[in-house]
Structure 1
Amino acid sequence: MKQFFLTMLGVFAGLVVFFIILPVVGLMLLVGAAASTSKPSTPAHTVLELDLRQGLTDQVPTNPFAMLDSSQSVLGVIDTLAQAERDTNVKALLIRAPEGGMTPAYADEIRQAVQRFRKTGKLVVAHSQGFAPSGVVMSSYMLAASADELWMQNTSSFQATGVSMDSMFLGRAAEKYGVKADFEQRYEYKNAVNEFTQSDFTPAHREAMTAWMNSIYTSVLSVVATDRKQDPVALKAVIEAGPYTPEQALQLKLIDKIGQVEEAEAYVKEKAGKDAKIVSFGEYGSMKGMRSSMGSGAKSSIAIVGGEGAIMTGRGNSGSLFGSGSEIRSDDLARALYQAIEDKDVKAIVFRVSSPGGSPDASEQILAALRAAKKAGKPVVVSMGGYAASGGYWISSEADWIVAQPSTLTGSIGVYGGKFAIGEALGRFGIDTRNLTVGGDYADAFSSASGFDQGQRAAFSASMDRIYAQFIERVARGRKLTPERAHEIAKGRVWTGMQAKEIGLVDQLGGLHEAINKARQLAEIPSAEGVRFKYYPTPQTPWEALASAFGASGQAASTLVRIGQVLGDPAAVAVMERVRTEQMRTQGAAVLAEQPAF
């Protein structure tokens, strides 16, 4: 019976692939082929429209089906703006500002790209339908305020008055229902576990969160004051006295005009010239593709290697077929670094990291590849995205140079681990959990039936100490600190990029643009000489994306292999045959940072 259902599942998957997905793949390939032969030219008077009301990822997804998702990437946006700077047909930029909060580092990086665009003399207009008190809405306002003119709809409300974050603590609920959150952390600032074990902020948790929130808030106010030519102290007082109606915000010079988005569109089109057309970022990007070089006369290449998401061992991406969900798999990212090492044209590597952390073993595998790049004589510059904390800092720690945004969350040099023991809780509902073990005492250490016994806890605690010591060793070596100093600024504490620069965990504030310039300098590429960009990991083929999507079913994978054989695609067959079910291995430790929802 089980085999029957597996067979039926495979047949169903095959039908879905054959009648739904394959036609989409074929259409994409046809569209791609047509685009490669004749890309449309940019209209003579173009207004680019950047709509930031949808989700943002840090990096351009390698999934070929991600174009069907509405989200954009930070690196895609700054790359498009860099091309638009030099495109004489692009006359202006219209930004649709989000109502809620943005990841602060994303706002920082896009703002910097907007400022470079403005320096070419091109107009930037932003339109808002309100700034709601959601997440770090101050970052959304900061980005919108970087435009030449900021418009707001007449019925909207200006509610950007500070930074607020919620935390949900489950300690009392766990105690009430008999769930034992049996965890250890190294050390007091490693706060990812606190929401499971506590009912309120510990003093260290409160101190660290308040510090990085203040850092982001102070940075945002400073930038807005500079962009809008206001006194920072006076601006802070005005902001905190809100909220405001559009009329009040206009009077207080927080915005420049009141009007509907259609009025803003008409205004910017008039400024752009006769018969101006609004072109979306997605449409313009399809005309231009990813930027492949900087400057003319390129002889050397710089590899841009990207990793986004939680760090895990293994291969493959568990993101949805049509979405841009991402994770860092250590085999994939290490292989990408080795490919850049082996490419003789690549003179330096820019390693873009956006991760809250993950497996210590996976992190070490990636760091080993980074060391190999340095040993091969190729400088490595890390560009930190929204997060590069815990495991994200582990894989960055030994780079030649680290660049972060002022509001990047980084550090969190520490480790935590443990388990939820739910045997008692289930017993209250008549469910009895029993455990059988063959072997040593530690064999059932991670059984959910009960908490650690004394011997198990001692062994587990020793493993926490060992991983923390390894982390400290790497940070001390990479940042040229004594182990004592590394421990002093570690203890699991999260820092902003601005704070991290002050204590030596980061070398420079900025984004990918600044990281590329530093990589050129370290590789001794003359400033007058152009460089080519090579992106790693390379984008997946449609077949590879399908393989990842159907990896949970061996029968479905077999069906896809057969379809690939019928279509005579050897690459498809090779990919499909490598598909296997992959489950995350149970691990006793993780180097993860708290990851606020902005």
Structure 2
Amino acid sequence: MTRPSRTLRFFAVIGALSTAVVVLVLLTVSVRCTCGGPGVPARTVLEIDFERPFLEHAADDPVARALGGGGPTVDDLVAALERARTDDRVVGLVAHVGGAGSGFARTQELRDAIAGFRAGGKFAVAFSETFGEFGPGNQGYYLATAFDEIWLQPSGDVGLNGLMMQGSFYRGTLDKLEVGVRMDHRHEYKNALNTYTERAYTPAHREASQAVLSSMFDQFVADIAEGRKLAPEAVRTLIDRGPFLGPEAHEEGLVDRLGYRDEVMAAVKERAGAGAELLWHDRYLDRAGRPHTRGTRIAVVYGIGPVARGKSSFDPLFREATMGSETVAGALRAAIDDPEVKAIVFRVDSPGGSYVASDTIWRETVRAKQAGKPLIVSMGNVAGSGGYFVAMHATKIVAQPGTITGSIGVLGGKMLTRQLFERLGVTYDSINSSANSDFFSENHDYSAGGWQRFQGWLDRVYLDFTSKVAEGRGLPIEKVREVAKGRIWTGADAKQLGLVDELGGWPVALRLAREAAGLAADADIELKVYPEEKGLLGALLGGGDGDNSEAVAADVQVAIGLAEELRPVAAELRALGLGPGAHGAVSTPPVALGD
């Protein structure tokens, strides 16, 4: 294969740059020209597509959204259904539900939003082609039971077969590869370590996992029983007999009607009345306007994804967010410093991560209380380890019954890979300046003194974590040590243990925020997200981070996402001798201190 000429490559690069400019212009226009347009029909049926997984919150990254990184969000759905509940133009709701889900606690949040909508006296119909196609459909069916009517395509199934937790263990693989695991934890329930050191559940791992599964299954059964008007024991018996073919599910009362999409929509429109029109829930929200836009200001800050130092980010390919300490701590500072803000709602959905980053965010939650700004934490699917660390000093903590909570513990260490690479013919030699130069090296085991030093680090983090939980939650340290040890709990169990104050989602968090701010239960409020969204043009042209660190509230760098997309173009420019780092550039080998 011949390589294209430099001339052809040049024009290809220019074309790519021109395309990028056009995309920027179109995105800017789309962001800025959103005024006008159709209104909400006089008889509207909201339509929701639950086949797409719901994110907690869309990152302020228009480029990522344009590349497919956006999608429906929990906060938008909750806002749309709350707005629609009292909107006389909206008469009902129809949703396309499948077998997949967005996590157990998030599904409970969605069920709560649907229940709130129905409380306004409006109907809600769920339709599914299948709840799992010869596969599990538990979560999708669980969501569907929040509706007053469930339709199933005749060829579909109901994969209602119970819940299962399954762990993966890589000790056997690591042994075969001759990779040593030099890690430790605090304490026996910090079970992430077992993935690398064990071949099966330890007694502590099994105990904690079984307790979580049992709690979730009890919630699962109770909610399905309530939704389908069945006795809980009858639901347990049905689940033991599952999964079900469509006609069987209909006979057992698990679904109300069998039919195809066109039949569902015809029935929905007949139920809604003459002239009824369908409208996607997000389009409705755009046209009708979000609730809570006027009144006493309550700040909203999102802490989504693994905790890391630096800025928050969003990966549009894997649809995964990272909770950056710089961004989230800056957002909290901005809310604290805003005299208009009377309370803060901090939405957390995180499995944990960096201890230092978690501590940076924790400090701002302390400062909020010192400044007289009540801080209410609302938990999503998971608030474990670092995700609980950032929440533990809140004025009040709210979790769904199925939220994975706690994991008050720590783990760390390193993998020893020297033998693996030596088998592949790679050998190592080193020159050290100091006794502990190889402390972090994966080619060297800890020395006796180094291992002792590492154990001291684990002890220090665990003591700090448990002490801050005791202080933040107002619990005796002995009680905290009993429920800590790295153990996870469901939100329901965490409430019994004093780690959580109330069960629920956004509506509960807003009620507590009003109460903490001294507002009436029906007081008008303005929900303002921090950091403020800049949009594409603002991110590209809005300047830097201010004149100094005191001026930094927090901003998600949209330009970074764009830079990644243009990186191949930049490489081509360098290859053509038209950019920095081209022919004649002098480079030096990287130096990493401590390796």
Q: Same fold (TM over 0.5)?
A: yes
The 1:415–1:265 alpha-carbon spacing in structure 2 relative to 1, beyond 3 Å, is same
Which residue of the partner structure matches residue 311 of structure 1?
Answer: 307
Which residue of the partner structure matches residue 32 of structure 1?
Answer: 31
Which residue of the partner structure matches residue 419 of structure 2?
Answer: 424
Query: Residues 191-230 of structure 1 correspond to what in structure 2 (within 5 A)?
Result: 191-230=191-230
Which residue of the partner structure matches residue 513 of structure 1?
Answer: 507
C-alpha deviations, 1:39-89, integer Å up to 9, x for none? 421122222111111122112322223544363211121111112212222
CA distance in structure 1 between the partners assigned to 2:12 and 2:534 by the alignment:
21
CA distance in structure 1 between the partners assigned to 2:302 and 2:593 by the alignment:
26
CA distance in structure 1 between the partners assigned to 2:339 and 2:11 by the alignment:
47
CA distance in structure 1 between the partners assigned to 2:53 and 2:450 by the alignment:
43
C-alpha deviations, 1:448-477, integer Å up to 9, x for none? 113222221111111011001000011000
SS at match of 1:57: coil
**Contact 1:64 1:539 survives alignment (8 Å):** no
- Residue type of the alignment partner of 1:455: G
5+ unaligned residues in a row in structure 2: which ranges? 1-6, 540-556, 572-591
Which residue of the partner structure matches residue 301 of structure 1?
Answer: 297
TM-score (norm 2): 0.87
CA distance in structure 1 between the partners assigned to 2:165 and 2:32 by the alignment:
47
Which residue of the partner structure matches residue 349 of structure 2?
Answer: 354
**Contact 1:91 1:123 survives alignment (8 Å):** yes
The 1:440–1:39 alpha-carbon spacing in structure 2 relative to 1, beyond 3 Å, is farther
**Contact 1:62 1:537 survives alignment (8 Å):** no
Task: Report the Cα offset of residue 366 of structure 1.
Answer: 0.5
Deviates more, 1:166-175 or 1:15-24: 15-24
What RMSD over aligned residues (CA atoms) do the two structures have, in Å? 2.8
The answer on 1:529 being equivalent to 2:523 is yes
Query: Residues 38-117 of structure 1 correspond to what in structure 2 (within 5 A)?
Result: 38-68=36-66, 69=68, 71-117=71-117
CA distance in structure 2 between the partners assigned to 1:339 and 1:256 by the alignment:
50
Task: Report the Cα offset of residue 30 of structure 1.
Answer: 1.9
CA distance in structure 2 between the partners assigned to 1:553 and 1:433 by the alignment:
37
Task: Report the Cα offset of residue 440 of structure 1.
Answer: 3.3
CA distance in structure 2 between the partners assigned to 1:292 and 1:558 by the alignment:
44
Task: Report the Cα offset of residue 15 of structure 1.
Answer: 4.9
**Contact 1:100 1:134 survives alignment (8 Å):** no
Which residue of the partner structure matches residue 5 of structure 1?
Answer: none
SS at match of 1:307: strand
- Residue type of the alignment partner of 1:171: R
CA distance in structure 2 between the partners assigned to 1:168 and 1:34 by the alignment:
50
SS at match of 2:326: helix
How many residue pairs get aligned? The number is 550
Q: Select 1:547's aligned residue among 559, 562, 567.
A: 559
- Residue type of the alignment partner of 1:61: A
**Contact 1:314 1:330 survives alignment (8 Å):** yes
- Residue type of the alignment partner of 1:314: G
Which residue of the partner structure matches residue 502 of structure 1?
Answer: 496
**Contact 1:413 1:493 survives alignment (8 Å):** yes
CA distance in structure 1 between the partners assigned to 2:416 and 2:466 by the alignment:
30
Task: Report the Cα offset of residue 515 of structure 1.
Answer: 0.4
SS at match of 1:388: strand
CA distance in structure 2 between the partners assigned to 1:165 and 1:362 by the alignment:
30
Which residue of the partner structure matches residue 444 of structure 1?
Answer: 438
The answer on 1:369 being equivalent to 2:360 is no
CA distance in structure 1 between the partners assigned to 2:320 and 2:188 by the alignment:
31
CA distance in structure 2 between the partners assigned to 1:284 and 1:97 by the alignment:
19
Which residue of the partner structure matches residue 546 of structure 2?
Answer: none
SS at match of 2:315: coil
SS at match of 2:157: coil
Task: Report the Cα offset of residue 196 of structure 1.
Answer: 1.3
**Contact 2:99 2:137 survives alignment (8 Å):** yes
- Residue type of the alignment partner of 2:492: M
CA distance in structure 2 between the partners assigned to 1:33 and 1:480 by the alignment:
48
Q: Select 2:473's aligned residue among 479, 504, 509.
A: 479
C-alpha deviations, 1:79-108, integer Å up to 9, x for none? 111122122222211111121344011110
CA distance in structure 2 between the partners assigned to 1:67 and 1:278 by the alignment:
25
Deviates more, 1:186-195 or 1:68-77: 68-77
**Contact 1:14 1:556 survives alignment (8 Å):** no
**Contact 1:101 1:134 survives alignment (8 Å):** no
TM-score (norm 1): 0.86
Task: Report the Cα offset of residue 535 of structure 1.
Answer: 0.9
CA distance in structure 2 between the partners assigned to 1:17 and 1:309 by the alignment:
33
C-alpha deviations, 1:350-396, integer Å up to 9, x for none? 11001000111101110111111111111111000111110000000
Task: Report the Cα offset of residue 285 of structure 1.
Answer: 3.3
The 1:277–1:436 alpha-carbon spacing in structure 2 relative to 1, beyond 3 Å, is farther
Task: Report the Cα offset of residue 325 of structure 1.
Answer: 2.9
- Residue type of the alignment partner of 2:43: H
**Contact 1:178 1:422 survives alignment (8 Å):** yes
C-alpha deviations, 1:186-238, integer Å up to 9, x for none? 11110112111111111111111111111111101101111221111111111
**Contact 1:357 1:390 survives alignment (8 Å):** yes
The answer on 1:340 being equivalent to 2:350 is no
**Contact 2:127 2:261 survives alignment (8 Å):** yes
CA distance in structure 2 between the partners assigned to 1:135 and 1:446 by the alignment:
44
